[in-house]
Amino acid sequence: MNKILLLSTEYISPSRTIETLTLANQKDSRLVHIYNYEGNHFRFFDSYLSLIAFFQEGIEPEISFSSEKELDRFLEDYC
């Protein structure tokens, strides 16, 4: 199980955010980004470059969620 640490939350608009998280377990840690679209759709980015590609070129991430519960379950086991 991962330890999830919120590093920052950037507000694009009142209902759209980008959260930067550190996911850490006993062996490893990773920096990830979550784009929260109005609390209804969450896109997961494992690199800053993929996040930039999404906004500049419209390249969708491979992993997305339609609920915060789904996202939380995924983050707990990601590392």
For 70, left (φ over 0), alpha (ψ -120 to 50), or beta? alpha
Q: How many helices (H) and strands (E) does the chain have?
A: 2, 5
What are the structure tokens assigned to 5, written together?
């640490």
Residues 6+ apart with CB under 8 A from 1: 25, 76, 77
* pLDDT at residue 79, as a whole number: 65
| In the predicted structure, residue 36 carries a pLDDT above the cut 70 | yes
pTM metric for this prediction: 0.91
Query: Are the beta carbons of 79 and 28 closer than 8 angstroms?
Result: yes
| Whole-Å CA distances, 59 to 6, 51, 68 | 25, 9, 22
> 48-68 pLDDT, tens per residue?
999 999 999 999 999 999 999
